[in-house]
Amino acid sequence: MKKFIQKILSLSPVAAIALALVSCNTVAPKHQTSFTYDPTVAAIKNPSALQIKISTSAQRLYLVEGNNVVLATPCTVGAPSSPTPKGNFTILSKQEHRRRATEPGAGYPMTYWMSFSGPAYGIHWGFVKPVPATHGCVRVPLKAVKKIFHLVKVGTPVQVASSQPWDETIGKSLPVLNDGPLPNPPMSYLLSPQVFLDAKLGKHWNF
């Protein structure tokens, strides 16, 4: 960086500005995966009043108590061909260690599973991407979904809508997470008990 600044200072003003602009445009933003994201949880006065609010357009999940957001996290919702169902639901079941029972991807681990629309749709841990990419479920970063799982209960209301009131404020302050560049774990690992142990420890197989 020091040599770069010295080079700019040695040039004419016009050349220096041009070099700086080109250099700025070629610097890639720092990549952040979901495994580094660990949201804080605000004080909760009444745990029975908690609700989950999901924004499909912003790809944000908010755990709220009344109008107060106690936890906010990026998430990944259903792709256009398999959208996450919108509406008002409740948590129907919770299962810390769950595997997909049907194809495609039978046996795929869906850790910290919380179903909200029949047995097919739920909130769970999985790779998070900045674009809708799931078969309809809501994938949440590991540390975030673990906290949500232990805070909500069967019967907790879940609202899935195109937008939520906090998208332009709290939602925009959240980081962009992209696990897309991470290598896909081998199926032998995904089907093994180790995947659940690693999730409990908060790590990924290749870390």
User: In the prediction, which pLDDT does 151 show?
Assistant: 98
Domain contains 200 = no
Secondary structure (DSSP) of 112-123: SEEEEETTTEEE
Give Cβ neighbours of residue 188 (< 8 Å, ≥ 6 apart).
none
Does residue 2 form part of some domain?
A: no
Model confidence at 3: pLDDT above 50: no
The phi and psi torsions of 139 (rounded to 5 degrees) equal -90, 140
Burial 184-193 (b: 16+ CB within 10 A, else e): ebeeeebeee
Residue 203 in any domain: the answer is no
Asked if the structure places residue 187 within a domain, the reply is no
Share of the chain above pLDDT 90, in %: 64
pLDDT, position 52:
98
42 pLDDT band, cuts 50/70/90, is very high
How many domains does the chain contain in total? 1
Residue in the block written with tokens 């897309």: 180
Average pLDDT over residues 89-108: 88
Is residue 204 assigned to a domain? no
Is 105 a domain residue? Answer: yes
Provide CB contacts within 8 A for 192, sequence distance 6+. none
Instruction: List pLDDT tens digits, range 153-195.
Output: 999 999 999 999 999 999 999 999 999 998 888 889 888 999 9
pTM: 0.82
Residue 138: give the domain boundaries: 34-181
175: domain CATH number is 2.40.440.10
Q: What is the pLDDT of residues 49-98, one digit of tens each?
A: 999 999 999 999 999 999 999 999 999 999 999 999 999 999 999 999 99
The contacts of residue 169 (CB under 8 Å, 6+ apart) are: none
- In this prediction, residue 132 carries a pLDDT of 98
In the chain, count H helices and then E strands.
6, 9
Q: DSSP strand E in 47-141: where?
A: 50-55, 60-65, 68-74, 87-90, 93-95, 113-117, 121-125, 138-140
